[in-house]
């Protein structure tokens, strides 16, 4: 039995995402959701890696949008002033990062499919 690379990376990312979330804040559902998001996101990132490793003349400022969104979410959205535990706050930022990873790569995949049609 051979395991293709995106699936292998997805499994490793799922284990890491779930474990990190559980260590930050021990909640099984939060950890499972993190595992699912990071697993799918990791697999999609490897499958769509060509879009992320283009040549030096490809891309532009729009490539930074996912990082800027995550930075804004982490600094302003889930900030220290919220009445939640610090571990939970960081686990929520990890959850949002996993969601952003999935959505960004799904957008790349949908864009490629649309361009191919």
Q: What pLDDT shows up at residue 56? A: 62
CA–CA gap between residue 101 and residue 85 (Å, rounded): 24
- Give me the torsion for CA of 51, 52, 57, 63, rounded to 10°: 100
Q: Are 38 and 17 in contact (CB under 8 A)?
A: yes
Q: What pLDDT shows up at residue 17? A: 96
Q: How far is CA 28 from CA 45, 98, 103, 111, in A?
A: 25, 16, 23, 34
**Sign of torsion, CA 43 46 50 54?**
positive
User: Tens digits of per-residue pLDDT, 16-71?
Assistant: 999 999 999 999 999 999 999 999 999 999 988 877 776 666 666 677 788 888 88
Q: Provide the token pair at 110.
A: 């949908």
**Binning pLDDT at 50, 70 and 90, where does residue 78 land?**
confident
* Domain boundary assignment for the chain: 5-115
pTM over 0.75: yes
Q: Are 30 and 91 in contact (CB under 8 A)?
A: yes
CA–CA gap between residue 79 and residue 71 (Å, rounded): 11
**For the chain, percent of residues with pLDDT exceeding 70:** 91
């Amino acid at each position: 039995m051979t395991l293709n690379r995106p699936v292998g990376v997805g499994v490793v990312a799922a284990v890491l995402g779930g474990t990190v979330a559980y260590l930050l804040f021990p909640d099984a559902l939060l950890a499972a959701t993190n595992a699912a998001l990071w697993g799918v996101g990791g697999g999609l990132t490897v499958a769509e890696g060509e879009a992320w490793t283009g040549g030096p003349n490809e891309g532009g400022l729009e490539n930074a949008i996912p990082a800027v969104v995550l930075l804004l979410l982490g600094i302003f959205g889930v900030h220290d002033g919220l009445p939640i535990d610090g571990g939970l706050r960081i686990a929520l930022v990890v959850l949002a990062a996993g969601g952003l990873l999935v959505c960004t790569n799904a957008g790349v995949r949908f864009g490629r499919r649309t361009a191919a049609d």
